[in-house]
């Protein structure tokens, strides 16, 4: 039994590709057969696996009533680190970033050695004088507001504001293969003992009245990179409740995750665990569909 030709060999995950994957599954082809057909047609294995699993998961959710055509937005292209052949390291030009853990569905990658100790110290020092109670996007209006679920202090750097920020933004762009201009300004957050950020999604809810205003600045968020700038004595990990994963806050490391649509089916629910002892400093980089202005 052979599958039909794929509609395209481009690496963009298009609606046409998702329709083709569903057609193959409904025709009775097993997932490994569909995956191999995509690889044979020129798709990178990591892109093919991610596209296939995300598409079939969403299709199953709709078929079983856990998602419907009205509340399941179309998927879009997302940042994608080069993870073919299970690399130990990714060369980003000015350093070798370690690949410590990879999950395909949802796409979650833990990186090591993204920042040096000196760069971590510099970001904390540059951010410290500007820290204020953290705000979240006000989904009702498109502005900002204090959220009781987020008990940290924070600030934003403008894109390319300092040499360290500029170097990090170039590094991230190379690492996840996404333009620098599509990134929001780097946010630095400080969590004292007891502070946390309860589980939430980073995308903007399409059903909220403020979302159209937010999306004018660069479209939806499609990926997040959380970077650990220090190591709390206890607590402070990043938890993904839907997949039973907790990432330890190791200095210089980062966790990356992408979401191809603003919907819980992406399983990207995540939160910052309470700091039990010590303090936690992180930097967060959100990536948009288009240029962020």
Mean pLDDT for the chain? 87
The per-residue pLDDT for 8 is 43
- The more confident residue out of 148 and 37 is 37
The CA distance from 39 to 205, in Å, is 34
Residue with tokens 């409904």: 26
| 112 has pLDDT over 70 | yes
Q: What is the pTM of this model?
A: 0.76
Question: What tens digit of pLDDT does each residue of 114-128 get?
Answer: 999 999 999 999 999
The CA distance from 166 to 159, in Å, is 7
Per-residue DSSP letter, 64 = T
**Dihedral sign computed on CA atoms, order 137, 139, 145, 147:** negative
- The more confident residue out of 175 and 47 is 175
CB-based contacts of 132, cutoff 8 Å, min separation 6: 153, 154, 155
Residue with tokens 């205003």: 213
The per-residue pLDDT for 29 is 86
Q: What are the structural domains of the chain?
A: 1-72 (no CATH), 89-288 (2.60.120.620)
The per-residue pLDDT for 128 is 95
The per-residue pLDDT for 66 is 52
């Amino acid at each position: 039994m052979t599958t039909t030709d794929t509609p395209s060999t481009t690496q963009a995950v298009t609606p046409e590709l998702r329709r083709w994957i569903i057609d193959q599954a409904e025709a009775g082809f097993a997932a490994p057969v569909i995956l191999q057909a995509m690889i044979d047609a020129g798709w990178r294995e990591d892109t093919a696996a991610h596209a296939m699993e995300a598409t079939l998961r969403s299709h199953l959710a709709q078929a079983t009533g856990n998602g419907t055509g009205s509340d399941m937005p179309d998927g879009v292209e997302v940042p994608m680190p080069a993870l073919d052949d299970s690399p130990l390291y990714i060369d980003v030009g000015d350093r070798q970033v370690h690949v410590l853990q990879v999950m395909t569905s949802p796409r979650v990658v833990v990186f090591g050695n993204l920042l040096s100790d000196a760069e971590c110290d510099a970001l904390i020092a540059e951010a410290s004088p500007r820290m204020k109670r953290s705000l979240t996007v006000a989904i009702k209006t498109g502005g900002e507001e204090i959220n009781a679920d987020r008990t940290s202090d924070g600030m934003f750097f403008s894109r390319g504001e300092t040499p360290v920020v500029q170097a990090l933004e170039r590094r991230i762009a190379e690492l996840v293969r996404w333009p620098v201009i599509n990134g929001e300004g780097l946010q630095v957050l400080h969590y004292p003992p007891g502070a946390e950020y309860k589980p939430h999604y980073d995308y903007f809810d399409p059903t909220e009245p403020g979302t159209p205003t937010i999306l004018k600045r660069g479209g939806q968020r499609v990926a997040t990179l959380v970077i650990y700038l220090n190591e709390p004595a206890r607590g402070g990990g990043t938890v993904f409740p839907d997949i039973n994963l907790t990432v330890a806050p190791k200095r210089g490391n980062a966790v990356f995750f992408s979401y191809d649509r603003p919907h819980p089916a992406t399983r990207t629910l995540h939160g910052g665990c309470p700091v039990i002892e010590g303090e936690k400093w992180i930097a967060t980089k959100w990536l948009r569909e288009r240029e962020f202005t």
